[in-house]
């Protein structure tokens, strides 16, 4: 199965969830920042196309759109947002960890709160103004929108060109009825390919063509293309964005199989 197809399926699944932030802007959220592996040196901090951010949404019962199960009052939501911001500012807990534990935006919570690149007009005005006034790494403790209160953080813009070799197993998301190997066999093969890929002078294109179960990329040197946070599964992005240009990961697991990831040496 193509990782591009897996990105599409993941996006469709996320769209089904009722998440406030996705309804407040005209593009899906992206991947995590704080609490995830460090961004490699080649990643950009800013771009004329927009800025990147993350948030922790604390919704209340009068918020719009209303979220099922949210019963706290506006005052309780505000108090909670301030408390979480204080934990971050005191370095007691990471932004990403608190986003995963407490944010009412389920889709970005799973990604450490990061919603990725935004352009003028894509956010409610208070959020846009709050984000643009921040330096990378800074937070705005309590910004109100129709949905509730947000702890905002500005994060680096991250982009990378990815390649991979995918080894799947019978019953995994990448199996369309043609795979007979077990999960254990798939892991053993993926470990072998990862070791081969890291040998100096190894031909990643050849490894992809010989072994990859991603039919759409195997004969294109495993090329997935330009990846931004939130495009793919978090475990894949963790590996990709932690690599230097030209770097190759160990074995990375997603619901579609095991992957050996290469970050393209060319910068996007």
Q: For the chain, how long is the longest CA-to-CA vector?
A: 61
Q: Which pLDDT does position 115 carry in this prediction? A: 85
What are the residues facing 230 on neighbouring strands?
Answer: none
For residue 195, what pLDDT is reported?
Answer: 97
pLDDT of amino acid 79: 97
User: Which pLDDT value is given to residue 267?
Assistant: 64
Domains of the chain, earliest start first: 17-155 (3.10.50.40), 160-263 (3.10.50.40)
How confident is the model at residue 119, as a pLDDT? 81
Taking phi first (over 0 means left), then psi (-120 to 50 degrees means alpha), and beta for anything else, what does residue 230 get? left
Is the predicted pLDDT of residue 8 greater than 50, yes or no? no
Upstream peptide bond of 65 is cis (omega within 30 degrees of 0): yes
The C-alpha atoms of residue 179 and residue 183 are separated, in whole angstroms, by 11
Q: Are 166 and 257 in contact (CB under 8 A)?
A: yes
Q: What is the pLDDT of residue 252?
A: 97
The pLDDT of residue 159 is above 60:
yes
Decide which of 34 and 7 is more confident. Answer: 7
Angstrom distance (rounded) from CA 213 to CA 235: 19
The average confidence (pLDDT) of the chain is 83
pLDDT at 2: 53
Pick the closest to residue 129 from 117, 141, 143, 116 (CA basis).
143
The Cβ of residue 54 has, within 10 Å, a number of other Cβ atoms equal to 31
Looking at residue 268, what is its pLDDT? 55
User: What confidence score (pLDDT) does residue 20 get?
Assistant: 41
Taking residues 179-183, what's their average pLDDT?
A: 94
Residue 32 is predicted with a pLDDT of 31
Looking at residue 36, what is its pLDDT?
A: 39
CA 113 to chain centre: 9
Q: Which residues pair with 161 in a beta bridge?
A: 226
pLDDT in tens, 12-64: 333 323 234 443 443 333 333 333 334 454 454 444 457 889 999 999 999 99
6 pLDDT higher than 60: no
Instruction: Name the residue with higher pLDDT: 6 or 86.
Output: 86
The predicted model gives 185-207 an average pLDDT of 97
**Cα(177)–Cα(96) distance, integer angstroms:** 37
Average pLDDT over residues 115-121: 82
């Amino acid at each position: 199965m193509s990782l591009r197809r897996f990105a599409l399926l993941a996006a469709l699944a996320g769209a089904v969830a009722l998440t406030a932030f996705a309804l407040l802007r005209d593009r899906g959220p992206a991947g995590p920042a704080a609490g995830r592996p460090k961004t490699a040196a080649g990643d950009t901090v800013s771009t004329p196309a927009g800025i990147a951010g993350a948030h922790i949404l604390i919704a209340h019962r009068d918020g719009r759109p209303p979220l099922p199960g949210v019963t706290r009052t506006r005052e309780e939501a505000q108090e909670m947002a301030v408390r979480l911001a204080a934990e971050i500012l005191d370095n007691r807990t990471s932004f990403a960890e608190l986003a995963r534990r407490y944010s009412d935006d389920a889709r970005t919570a799973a990604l450490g709160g990061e919603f990725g690149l935004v352009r003028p007009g894509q956010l409610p005005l208070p959020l846009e103004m709050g984000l643009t006034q921040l330096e990378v790494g800074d937070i705005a403790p309590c910004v109100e929108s129709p949905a509730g209160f947000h702890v905002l953080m500005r994060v680096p813009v991250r982009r990378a060109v990815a390649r991979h070799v995918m080894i799947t197993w019978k019953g995994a998301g990448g199996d369309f009825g043609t795979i007979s190997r077990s999960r254990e066999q798939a892991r053993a093969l993926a470990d072998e390919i990862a070791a081969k890929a890291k040998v100096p002078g190894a031909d990643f294109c050849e490894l992809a063509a010989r072994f990859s179960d991603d039919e759409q990329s195997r004969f294109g040197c495993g090329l997935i293309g330009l990846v931004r946070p939130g495009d793919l599964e978090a475990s894949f992005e963790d590996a990709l964005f932690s690599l230097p240009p030209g770097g190759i990961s160990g074995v990375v697991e997603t619901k579609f199989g095991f992957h050996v990831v290469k970050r393209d040496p060319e910068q996007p």
